[in-house]
Structure 1
Amino acid sequence: MQTHIALLRAVNVGGTGKLPMAELRAMCEQAGFADVCTYIASGNVVFRSALPEHKVAAALEARLAAYAGKPVGVLVRTAAEMAEVLAANPFPDAPGKRVVAIFLDSPPPADALEHASGRRHEAMALGRREIYVHYGEGMADSRLRIPAAKAGTARNLNTVAKLAVMAAT
């Protein structure tokens, strides 16, 4: 069995996309995943499974669609891949809360950053299957739009670090 981290799109504590983490844990257990634990109420779950990444995502997406009545995107990384995302951070001196990794299903196009709009004080870099963004002055007032990231889901580097630790143990 391998440790996986599933990152759900558009899940939050309140409003649209609300999903109690107890429900998420139960869905994962019903899918046959072992040692399931969630981290903060924003759609982060760590578990073990013998299934490959695409089958893990499909199993969880099917359960989430039945629960939510609409598709909910799931991006999956192994424990090793999450550690690599953290290690590859191109902005290591920036506070982790100001840097996000936008997780994607596949490698971002080489010209992904050229198509970004609304850029002000943000710095960006491409990763293996991620786009990193350093929000120098914070995310609250950012108008940055990255079309290649539309189907992705972002986690700040503090969360990435915590998930990497959880997956390693």
Structure 2
Amino acid sequence: MSTYVALLRGINVGGNNPLPMKALKLCLQDAGYSNVQTYIQSGNIVLDADTNPKDELGPLIEKSFGIEPAIMVMAKEEFSAAHTTNPFEGAGNTIHFYFCDAEPALDQPKLDLLLASSESYALHGKVFYLHAPDGIGRSKLVANIESCLGVAATGRNLNTVGKIASMLGAD
């Protein structure tokens, strides 16, 4: 059995796509996953499975809760590597990780146009790291991140990534 991290996109945001984590945890356990853990309401799941659950989670959630969110799934080792590869070490919670469904094909001209002068980024494999010291609320890049990446992505801040890494035992 292997450990996986599943990051759900677009749930429990502004009252849209409600998905209670307690009920989701029970649903996943009933479906045969073990050591299921969730963290906050934004859809962060750690679980053990015999095979990568990527293709199974969406239909299971849709059947049980009536929504089928985009889900990024990675093995424990892949998530831990993303955490330790953070190129902006020491920058605090102004770092955001965008976990991509596939390796991004950056639209460099668009990215350069939207990137604020205070922002910087790095791309390592399927993870786009953004240092946004002024926050992401008004970031033009964040508002258009998927069109710049060319793939589906879901973002998590450094605190959330650190907490998930702790859940994996990968501090």
The match for 1:115 among 110, 115, 121 is: 110
2:99 is equivalent to residue 139 of structure 1? no
Checking the alignment, whether the CA contact within 8 Å between 2:17 and 2:67 is kept in structure 1 is: no
* Greater displacement, 22-31 / 75-84: 22-31
Residues 7 and 45, structure 2, Cα contact 8 Å, conserved in 1: yes
Match of 1:18 in 2: 18
Q: CA deviation at 1:113?
A: 4.2
- What is residue 48 of structure 2 aligned with on the other side? 48
Distance 1:130 1:77 in 2: 11
Query: 1:133 aligns to what SS in structure 2?
Result: strand
Distance 2:153 2:123 in 1: 13
The one-letter code sitting in structure 2 at the alignment partner of 1:165 is S
Give identity over the alignment, percent.
Answer: 34
Change (3 A) 1:8 1:75: same
Question: C-alpha deviations, 1:83-140, integer Å up to 9, x for none?
Answer: 1011111111211x2111111121112x344432432122111121111111111112
Do the aligned residues in 1 keep the contact of 2:101 with 2:151 (CA within 8 Å)?
no
Cα drift, residue 38 of structure 1: 0.5
SS of residue matched to 1:59 = helix
Question: Which deviates more from structure 2 when the two are superposed, residues 141-150 or residues 83-92?
Answer: 141-150
Query: Which secondary structure state, in structure 1, belongs to the residue aligned with residue 23 of structure 2?
Result: helix
Q: Which AA in structure 2 matches 1:94?
A: A
| CA distance in structure 2 between the partners assigned to 1:14 and 1:85 by the alignment | 28
List structure 1 runs of 4+ shifted beyond 6 angstroms: none
1:39 aligns with 2:39: yes
* CA gap 1:113/1:69 in 2 versus in 1, 3 angstroms: farther
How much does 1:150 deviate?
5.5
Structure 2 counterpart of 1:108, which letter?
Answer: P
Q: CA RMSD in A?
A: 1.9
**Aligned residue pairs, count:** 164
Alignment partner of 2:120: what SS? strand
Counterparts of residues 1-169 of structure 1 (less than 5 Å): 1-12=1-12, 14-52=14-52, 56-95=53-92, 97-109=93-105, 111-116=106-111, 117-120=113-116, 121-144=118-141, 145-146=144-145, 147=147, 148=149, 151-168=152-169
**What stretches of structure 1 of length at least 5 have no aligned partner?**
none
**What is the rounded CA distance, in whole Å, between the counterparts of 1:122 and 1:2 in structure 2?**
36
Deviations 1:1-55 (A, max 9, x none): 1111110000226510221101210221133110111011110011111112xxx
TM-score, normalised relative to structure 1: 0.88
